[in-house]
Amino acid sequence: MSKLEEKTIQQWLDPKGPVALVLKEHLTPVEGDRGVFFPPTYAPPKTGDPSTYNIDELSDGTKVALVDSVGSQANRMEPMFGTGPAGDPDLAKLVPQVSITIGNGKTVSILDAGHRLGDAIVRASTLKDEARKAFQKFLDEGDVFDIARLGPTSLVFGVWDSRDTYAKLPRLVQSVIRAWDVDELHRSAQYFPPIDYSKLEVFSDEEAKKSENNPKSPLAQRGFVAVPSTGAHGGIVARGPIVRDITINLIALRRLRTSGDQQALLRYILGLCLVAATEPMDGFLRQGCLLVPKAEQPLGWEEVARTGTHSRINLTNEVAREFATDAAKKFGVRADIEAQFGKDLAKADLDENEAKVVKKAAKAKK
């Protein structure tokens, strides 16, 4: 197994070094090319309209479908550092395991919180003050050390404390999946109840006739009469490539600052970024969407210079894990943290926000 050369690492951490590490991973449905798969659906712009796929049409007529968003990809990747079903025991040692006890034996890992250290679950727990101080230290001094010690994945995948201190840190690892040159399909179905409930006098024949083929009728909604489903989303077919674009932003990484050991901090966060970006993807994104890497891949990881030149680099998950493990030991991973959820803390947060809204409104009237 090869290692990352020290010269390479120093180049990545050099203020005048490369701007990013990138990978274009080509994917395919498990059924093979031109297989039907399902992108996510989103709420419609107007209330009452049906849900939609996120498909954009370019000026040349090419249709591009969003298969997995940047935020969704981050939420899939982050739990790999935990101890849950999606976690890896070796990777779990690289970050402090921060859990918030809710009650009745239930706990929530901060790695499963969508807004990370800026999530409401943190503000509604005994971790609130420490998280706020960490964000405030970044705002006042530009120092991210406390954030790195408390929730380092907040630096890797980005965080915005938009409901409290307004501290904002960009994503260092960004991943998104898009399908190119797609056609949208539709599907229809017909439901038939296993028995004729009207003959069993659950309701009358007249009620049955009024309700059949009417999806909005109470009997249809409860599954007592035949009802069709037509024109529903049927997935898409990609005639072009399905590509997962992964970027490690080295410029944003190098902008992280601490009054302590700067090199130790940067190497630690770099190690987490490399592991997160190179870990094989769990291709089961949702029902009907199981994607795997294509057997024949184009060039692998590339280093992008300031001039725009792309150079091939030997970066594998095995190499990334070794570097990250060593960097974590030198940085010093904090012991696991167990916080408590507080109903009163949650209510206080709501009251505090309401007070801000009232104060802002009053100021606007002056």
Task: Determine which helix (DSSP H) or strand (DSSP E) holds 20, and give its type and residue range.
Answer: strand 20-29
How far apart CA 205 and CA 187 sit, in angstroms, is: 30
How far apart CA 220 and CA 151 sit, in angstroms, is: 49
Q: How much is the pLDDT for 358?
A: 59
pTM over 0.85: yes
Residue that is written with structure tokens 């943190």 in the block: 122
Phi-psi region of 24 (alpha: psi -120 to 50; beta: other; left: phi over 0): beta
**In this structure, are strands 98-103 and 337-340 parallel, antiparallel, or unpaired?**
parallel
Q: Packing angle between helix 262-278 and helix 317-331, nearest 10 degrees?
A: 150
* 3-class DSSP string for 116-179: HHHCHHHHCECCHHHHHHHHHHHHHHCECHHHHHHCCHHHHCCEECCCCCCCEECCCEEEEEEE
CB 126 within 8 A of CB 342: yes
Q: How much is the pLDDT for 357?
A: 65
φ, ψ of residue 92 to 5 degrees: the values are: -65, -20
CB 323 within 8 A of CB 331: no
- pLDDT for 139-181, tens place per residue? 999 999 999 999 999 999 999 999 999 999 999 999 999 999 9
137: which 2 tokens?
């230290």
Beta-carbon contacts of residue 125 (< 8 Å; ≥ 6 apart): 100, 339, 340, 341, 342, 345
- pLDDT for 257-296, tens place per residue? 999 999 999 999 999 999 999 999 999 999 999 999 998 8
pLDDT category at 46 given cuts 50, 70, 90 is confident
Distance of CA 16 to the CA centre of its chain: 30
With CA atoms as reference, report the closest residue to 238 among 24, 22, 39, 25. Answer: 39
- pLDDT for 212-263, tens place per residue? 989 899 999 999 999 998 889 999 999 999 999 999 999 999 999 999 999 9
- pLDDT for 313-334, tens place per residue? 999 999 999 999 999 999 999 9
| Residue-by-residue DSSP string for 224-236 | -S-EEEEEEEEEE
Distance of CA 337 to the CA centre of its chain: 23
CB 75 within 8 A of CB 114: yes
- Does the pLDDT at position 366 exceed 70? no
226: which 2 tokens?
């035949």
